[in-house]
Amino acid sequence: MNNIYGVTLEELERYFLDKNNKKFKAVQVFDWVYKKGINSFDDMRNVSKETINMLKQDFYFGKLKIIDKKEDVDVSKYLFELDDNEKVEAVVMYHDYGTSICISTQVGCNMGCKFCESGRLKKVRNLKTYEMVLQILMVGKDISKKITHIVLMGIGEPFDNYDNVIKFIDIVNSGKGLDIGSRHITVSTCGIVPKIKEFANFDKQVNLAISLHAPTNEIRDSIMNINKVYKIEEIIDAVKYYINKTNRRVTFEYIMLKDINDSKECALKLSSLLKGINCYVNLIPYNETSHIEYKKSSKDSILAFYDVLKKNNIGVTIRREFGSKVNAACGQLRSHYLEV
C-alpha cells in the first residue's frame, strides 16, 4: 500500500485510468485530501462507495507523531517521530510576508559539514515523499495557519534524496494540492554539482540556494567535506549553467564563523568570486551548539563583511536570527533528544 500523501496528481490520474476509471476522480481525491483536509477516505462525500473501497485497498493515510515542540518569538520548532521511531525536525517562522517552514529531507546527513549538528549524527535514511509532505500538513494544522513558504534546509541534503524531493515539490506546488507557489519554495544544497545541473532542467521556477560558507577552497575544505569532491570552481560553473538555463537568481548562503570565514579579506575574495553572477548572498549568524567548537561572528564583523560586499555591488542580506532559545539550528533538537 502507498501513503496517499506521497502520490502526485499525475500518478493518481494514471492509477484511475489503469483501473478503467475517469482520471477526474484524482482531482476529487486531491481536493478532499489537501483542500478539505480529511484523513479518511470515508469522509469523501461526492465519491462513490465503490471508488472509496478501491482506494482503501491501495492507499492509506499516515501521520507523524509530534513528540516535542519548542517556541520562541516568531518561531516554533517541532520534533517528529516517524513510523520506524526515527526523529526529524521542522521549524516554522512567522514573517511579515507570511508563514514559512524549514523541513527535513533525510534522517541525519552524510555531508559532514563541520559546523552542522545534523551531519554530526550521520545519515540513517532518506525521508519518503509523504514524510516531507506530512511535516507541512501537521505543522499547518497545529498552528491553524496556511504555510505560505517552504525551505528545504532542515536535516539532510535535499539533492542526496533528489527523486523524493522532486515528487514532494510536485505535490505541494500543485494547484489541486497545497498550492504553494514555486517561487515560494527554496531548495538548498551544499554543492552536489551533477544535481545542480539536473535541477536546471526542472520545469518549475523553484528557488535554488547554495550553502557556500567560504570564498576559497582552502577554507571550504576545512569546514565542508563536500568540497573535497566538488571544488568551488565546479560549483560556480554549475550555478552559471543553472542561471543560463533558468534565468533565475541564485542565493549563496554564508554562515558567519568567528575567525574562520568572517574577515574583510574573505569578503573581498567572495566579492571577486561572485562578480557578474545573478545572485545575492545571505549572511547567516551562526547558531552555536555545545557539541561543536565554532563560534558566532560578532555583529561588528558581520556588518563589516556586509559593507564590503555592498561596496563591491554584490546583493547581500543578513538573515534575521530565529530561535536561539529553542535549539533552532539544524539538527539541534533531534540530537538533544537522542542524547538525553
Residues 6+ apart with CB under 8 A from 300: none
Structural element, H or E, at residue 296: none
Beta bridge pairs of residue 283: 254, 318
- DSSP 8-state symbol, 223: H
- Residue 330 annotated among the catalytic residues of the structure: yes
Given 89, 131, 157, 253, the catalytic residue: 89
Q: Which three cell numbers stand for residue 283?
A: 549572511
Distances in Å between the Cα of 69 and the Cα atoms of 76, 146, 253 are 7, 18, 27
Cβ-count burial 276-315 (b if 16+ within 10 Å, e if not): ebbbebbbbbbbbbeebebebbeeebbeebbebbeeeebb
Helix (H, G, I), strand (E, B) or coil at 56: helix
Look at strands 2-3 and 65-72 and give their pairing: unpaired
Q: Torsion over CA of 299, 305, 306 and 308, rounded to 10 degrees?
A: 150
Given 109, 113, 266, 330, the catalytic residue: 330
CA distance 322 to 328: 7
CA distance 64 to 60: 13
6 closest CA partner among 184, 102, 126, 159? 126
Cβ–Cβ < 8 Å for 123, 110: yes
- Residue 89 annotated among the catalytic residues of the structure: yes
Residue with grid cell 493515510, as numbered in its chain: 61
Using DSSP, how many helices (H) and how many strands (E) does the chain show?
A: 12, 14
The residues annotated as belonging to the active site are 89, 330
